[in-house]
């Protein structure tokens, strides 16, 4: 299974390929507006996933959104 960093690289490559494809098609006038909009939405999604994967371990997360700083409760069961 690929690591998150490897997956981020693959998404970056996919974004680059789609960007080149879009530029070529736009220059040639081969895309209608609905195709162009759909391709740009796909590119936006790919870039968003790439950024999330790329910074997953590097971006600090606030305590409210993750288990940082959580403490186990003391109960009668565990002394």
Which three-class secondary structure string do you get for the chain?
A: CCCHHHHHHHHHHHHHHHHHHHHHHHHHCCCCHHHHHHHHHHHHHHHHHHHHHHCCCCCCCCHHHCCCCCCCCCCHHHC
pLDDT value at 22 more than 80? yes
Model pTM score: 0.64
Quick count: other Cβ atoms within 10 Å of Cβ 19? 15
Q: State residue 63's pLDDT score.
A: 60
Q: What is the pLDDT of residues 24-63, one digit of tens each?
A: 988 888 888 888 889 899 999 999 998 888 877 776 666 6
């Amino acid at each position: 299974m690929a690591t998150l960093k490897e997956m981020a690289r693959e998404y970056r490559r996919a974004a680059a390929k789609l960007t080149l494809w879009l530029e070529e098609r736009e220059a040639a006038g081969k895309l209608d507006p609905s195709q162009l909009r759909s391709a740009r939405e796909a590119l936006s999604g790919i870039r968003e996933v790439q950024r999330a994967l790329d910074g997953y371990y590097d971006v600090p997360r606030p305590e409210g959104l993750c288990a940082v700083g959580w403490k186990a409760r003391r109960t009668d069961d565990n002394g």
